[in-house]
Structure 1
């Protein structure tokens, strides 16, 4: 038990450092970055960033991949990314914050990537629509695709059998830190985000985790899920 407590304390200490926490936050857009790029995000030197990243790799929080002369850093697993994103839910959002900082229609709290799936108000609304329309059901903190849902996903270009064959969580609820409700995560959530990007329902905002919903996307969501955006 003491060994576990010591390891937990080490992880908490790693995440508690401001520079490391900023770099981890930047990596939540699902892309891999170099130490130099992450140093700019954290406003520290490239050497300092490399030292921080080395510790995160040793703790199995990040992985590094070499490509040519460059080394790219990313999350070790999607589950680790989910833990980091969920930590934002500990930030207090009081009445005054709500009154003075309502989410902008195209702000990061409205629509953003949560590592490899869609989050924010739009992510929650789509998840609710999938549930309300009987495409998925929630069973013991896991989303189950119904027979109707399987056909629906097939029609939008997502093969459920193929998604289920991936060696990761298929579909689970992820607590949205800005909405304080759940959105769809896991392999299905990642496939849904990819489909929406490929079909121009949504677009990434350059240099940000923010997602922009296109006119086509609004029409498709209304047609396919009766969802007003």
Structure 2
């Protein structure tokens, strides 16, 4: 027991406890999940999203900023907050995957059910695609030997060529891994993240192959996108579950 205590960074205990306390509040957790869409939100928008008063959300945002999970930005008279970086986004998504029960509770309203179903079909996970859409694309890339999952996520030579031909920028130096697995909290399987995942998400949006659903982070494949992803990756129409 003493050897374990000596091997532990003494500062890590209070830091971990402070982080857990930040996310232990449901309003602050809801803020972090909302910001996974990678957009910057105003305090008023987050207050409405979380169903709390502006003064209440202000206190929560201050704690999250001071805790290093969020950063503030100012544009003219308006103030915004966003997740501090991709590492924070990955942590929030991973925690959401771990915390999601295997049997989800039924939604208590039609609106909640529709919103949840849209997120499960497809969504952005910070800067890459998740949900059934993200997993279907990841599976298709793997089936065509463009992506390997047997020794961790890695693009094959053919995969590098495929992404480049699609218009993805994989050459710009980055501290991020080129490809990494991200556990999908609705599918309980991995989807593609890293630079390749982010570039794929960007290219599909720019080409008009995906579009945002409503004001949240739900996305879906457009009619053109379904046709092109079917042509390029063999994804069946039924896998898109368009509504």
TM, length-normalised to structure 1: 0.89
* Residue aligning to 2:73: 65
User: Is 2:180 the counterpart of 1:172?
Assistant: yes
Segments of structure 1 that go 5 or more residues without pairing to the other structure are none
CA RMSD of aligned residues (A): 2.2
* Residue aligning to 1:117: 128
* Residue aligning to 1:94: 103
* Residue aligning to 2:34: 26
* Residue aligning to 2:56: 48
What secondary structure does 2:73 align onto?
A: strand
> Deviating runs (4+, > 3 A) in structure 1?
102-106, 138-141
* Residue aligning to 1:107: 118
What secondary structure does 1:107 align onto?
A: helix
User: Is 2:192 the counterpart of 1:156?
Assistant: no
- Asked if the contact 1:103/1:110 (under 8 Å) is kept, the reply is no
Segments of structure 2 that go 5 or more residues without pairing to the other structure are 1-8, 107-112, 238-243
| Structure 1 position 47, deviation (Å) | 2.2
Q: Structure 1 CA distance, aligned partners of 2:232 and 2:145? A: 12
| Structure 1 position 103, deviation (Å) | 9.2
| Structure 1 position 106, deviation (Å) | 6.4
| Structure 1 position 187, deviation (Å) | 1.8
| Structure 1 position 3, deviation (Å) | 2.9
Q: Structure 1 CA distance, aligned partners of 2:29 and 2:46? A: 11
Q: How many residues align?
A: 222
User: Is 2:155 the counterpart of 1:145?
Assistant: yes
* Residue aligning to 1:126: 137
Deviations 1:173-215 (A, max 9, x none): 0000000000011221111111111111110012121112111
TM, length-normalised to structure 2: 0.84
